[in-house]
Amino acid sequence: MQHRRRGRGRRFAGGVVRPAGVATLLLSLSACGLRTDVADGVETAPDSRAASRSIVCADRGYLAASGSTAQQNAMAHWTEEYQSACPGVKIRYTPNGSGAGVAQFLRGATQLGGTDGALTPDEVARSTEVCPGGRAIDLPMVGGPIAIGYNLDGVDGLVLDAAALARIFDSEITVWNDPAIRRLNPGVKLPPTPISAVHRSDGSGTTQNFNAYLAGAAPRHWPYEEDKAWRAKGGVSAAGSDGLAAHVRTTSGAIGYFELSFAKRAEIPTVRLDTGGPEPVQVSAESASLGIAAAGVAGDGNDMTLRFDYRNQAAGAWPIVLVTYEIVCDRGNPPDSLPALKSFLTYMAGAEGQNGLRGIHYAPLPAELAAAVQQVVSSLS
């Protein structure tokens, strides 16, 4: 995703850049005494067990949505929970990929798009055709830690850094006992097994985020664009995160990138990342939330595109994070679907929607960011 897209903003405490409109919302929320709980050093929305169990439902409505496969398990969870509480609303989410989700939204075929890559300026300009009097905006809704999975007999707790990953995936490091890998894993007996670096064959928001991380954290070793398509040399390709994970699981010497849920489901060991912090970081929903907490809002107006610091060395923060955005019109939404849209998005960004995510290996939004998303949702028209 275009995490590092530049926008006009201003600086707030903690070094986070936020556009003035969103910043005003955050300040007003603080003034109203928004309660937040702290877990693992990250403020998250209040525990849903302590929060009200009521969801403010729309009376009726139908939402057509499509897009990111990375959020499909989260969307399935949200849809089931919301429709159970709000039976008058019907939601259909088609997980056909970020590119298709954006395309369908811009054709007016859906009221909600899911994308792992924030809209480009050209796409925003085109959105005025389906958002009368307004434009499309990006609302961050769920974080997905991108894990680096590997298959190497006898090696547990493998440590790599950004430079080593870039050289591995660009076919410059080709065997597992390369000196650069040995240096990061003192005392570990690394075999001379050839490395099979696996990348996505299809255009992918996961690829775009991994490209963005390598370009940001190891620019000397990764000259490629932050693109949904894979540009590096060599390697093996596989379709979809499930195909990529399957290849890693069944191929000795393989390494690949995919959402943490795929690694957990296939029982694939994951790399610990040397970020320059106190200790190598293990990928998890908690460490990904710490990574999201270091991001800033770089969009303009009510657009909430995030910008990440891929050289973040904060203790325990996992920097390779995919954030899925929900694309909506800020103005010009169809009147017959607007109440359902606002109700569903408010639930998704709220305590009840966010606190169920860790159990399915997603990273919830930090509380301040989630509250700002809810405020933007309340202004949709």
Report yes or no: 9 and 296 within 8 Å, Cβ to Cβ: yes
| Cα four-point dihedral sign 326, 329, 331, 337 | negative
Please name which of 196, 210, 283 lies closest in space to residue 248, comparing C-alpha atoms. Answer: 196
Report yes or no: 92 and 83 within 8 Å, Cβ to Cβ: no
Q: Which tokens go with 241?
A: 């995160």
CA dist 80 and 203 (Å) reads 29
Which helix (H) or strand (E) element contains residue 347? helix 338-349
CA dist 113 and 98 (Å) reads 8
Amino acid type, 355? N
Residue-level pLDDT at 8: 36
Tell me which DSSP letter residue 194 carries. Answer: B
Q: HEC states along 149-163?
A: EECCCCCCCCEEEHH
Amino acid type, 305? T
Residues of the chain falling short of pLDDT 70 = 1-53
Please name which of 40, 269, 288, 309 lies closest in space to residue 159, comparing C-alpha atoms. Answer: 269
Q: Which tokens go with 339?
A: 């109440």
pLDDT digits 0-9 by tens, 3-45: 433 333 333 223 333 444 554 444 333 333 333 333 333 344 4
Residue-level pLDDT at 372: 95
From residue 173, give the alpha-carbon distance in Å to each of 162, 182, 193: 13, 12, 12
> Into which CATH architecture does domain 146-285 fall?
3-Layer(aba) Sandwich (3.40)
H runs (alpha helix) in 66-133: 72-85, 98-106, 121-127
Residues of the chain with CATH 3.40.190.10: 10-145+287-311+321-378, 146-285
C-alpha torsion angle, residues 15, 21, 26, 30 (rounded to 10): 120
Q: How many CB atoms lie within 10 A of CB 10?
A: 9
3-state secondary structure of 144: strand
CA dist 270 and 304 (Å) reads 30
Report yes or no: 163 and 215 within 8 Å, Cβ to Cβ: no
Quickly name the fold that domain 10-145+287-311+321-378 has.
Answer: D-Maltodextrin-Binding Protein; domain 2 (3.40.190)
Residue-level pLDDT at 117: 86
pLDDT digits 0-9 by tens, 302-330: 999 999 989 989 999 999 998 999 999 99
Report yes or no: 346 and 378 within 8 Å, Cβ to Cβ: yes
Residue-level pLDDT at 22: 52
Residue-level pLDDT at 30: 36
What are the start-end ranges of the E strands in the chain? 10-11, 17-18, 37-39, 42-44, 61-67, 89-94, 112-115, 136-150, 159-161, 196-200, 236-238, 254-259, 272-274, 296-297, 306-307, 321-329
